[in-house]
A = this chain, B = another copy of it.
């Protein structure tokens, strides 16, 4: 099961050798199952947790459909209780087996785990429906656990690496897009607001500019003046053309990533340097002949 090659959490702090081993036998066992995925039991735990989280999220989604909520009310309540018990036990076991429960409880995943355990308990105390929905959707935070599980897949590693590499460039690009839409939105506001109730304020016009430049185009707001349509056409063609920028960045980043990957097989017998071009005959670091 190569899907779950989890890097252990930061809380693998049970290696304190001063404390007598026997005292921690159970905690260490539980720790290994929950936090490490190299053992069969650890893998099984990860797969089981993965399935339970997905099932819990699907339940959350289906509960929001009025007709299903009415028909399967009993089933949904039973499943909610089941998930409540399972995830509460999981959270308590995590707290129990780590060396420093407080550090875990305050960590990002500790908070995620706590928040996603709270909802069913909160239902007893919250009469307000809207607040309840917000609390309920906390269960969705478990998506982060899944991201954590899959983010070390071979397939996603290259993507993540390329994204990290290109992160600054993409951030600058997004900042540029935001400034551009502020500028174009204000321009359209000045052009349209007297004739078109859709452009009643600058934030609304900026929203329209974003809808247009990203080529989403809902159509709930659309220009009606001739000049407005000309500017809108310009914005559309602009959006159509500048999509090329993040795509080009990503492509170039991945192409150079692939090129490096191609070069990964040759290791210098002298200095152990690995990063050689595919046509290299001598090590670029120490000049030793490559095998």
For the complex, is A22 an interface residue (Cβ under 8 Å from B)?
no
**Binary flags per residue of A252-291, CB closer than 8 Å to B gives 1, else 0:** 1111111100100000000111111111111111111100
- Smallest CB–CB gap between A3 and chain B, Å? 10
Q: Please, how many angstroms separate the alpha-carbon atoms of A226 and B251 in the complex?
A: 35
Chain A stretch 134-151: residues in CB contact (< 8 A) with chain B: 134, 137, 140, 143, 146-147, 150
Contact B281 A140 (CB under 8 A): no
Residue among B61, B186, B217, B274 making CB contact with A182, cutoff 8 Å: B61
Query: Given the complex, which residues of B lie within 8 Å of A130, measured CB to CB?
Result: 194
Cα A172 to Cα B176 with chains together (Å): 23
Known: A171-B155, A256-B259, A282-B284. A229 touches B207 (CB 8 A): yes
A75 located at the interface, meaning its Cβ lies under 8 Å from any Cβ of chain B in the complex:
no
Residues of chain B contacted by A169 (CB below 8 angstroms) = 155-156, 158-159
A 212-227 contacts with B by CB, 8 A: 212-220, 222, 226
Chain B residues within an 8 Å CB radius of A213:
240
A175 at the interface (CB under 8 A from B): yes
Q: Which of the residues B61, B211, B271, B287 comes within 8 Å of A203, measured between beta carbons?
A: B61
Q: How far is the CA of A204 from the CA of B140 in the complex (A)?
A: 16
Residue A47 interfacial (CB < 8 Å): no
Kindly identify which residue among B173, B176, B217, B250 contacts A248, using a CB–CB cutoff of 8 Å: B250
Question: In this assembly, does A200 line the interface, its C-beta being within 8 Å of a C-beta of chain B?
Answer: yes
A62 to B155, CA, bound (A): 44
With a CB–CB cut-off of 8 A, which chain B residues contact A61?
Answer: 182, 186, 202-203, 206
Given A194-B130, A207-B229, A276-B284, A202 and B247 contact (CB-CB distance below 8 Å):
no
In the complex, chain B residues whose CB is within 8 Å of the CB of A271:
271, 285
Nearest-CB residue, chain B, relative to A194: B130
A280-B287 Cα distance, complex, nearest whole Å: 10
A1 is an interface residue with CB less than 8 A from chain B: no
Segment at the B interface, from A89-97, A104-112, A118-126, A231-239? A231-239
A153 within 8 A of B: yes
A62 CB, min distance to chain B CBs, angstroms: 8
Please name all residues of chain B whose beta carbon is closer than 8 Å to the beta carbon of A194 when the two chains form the complex: 130
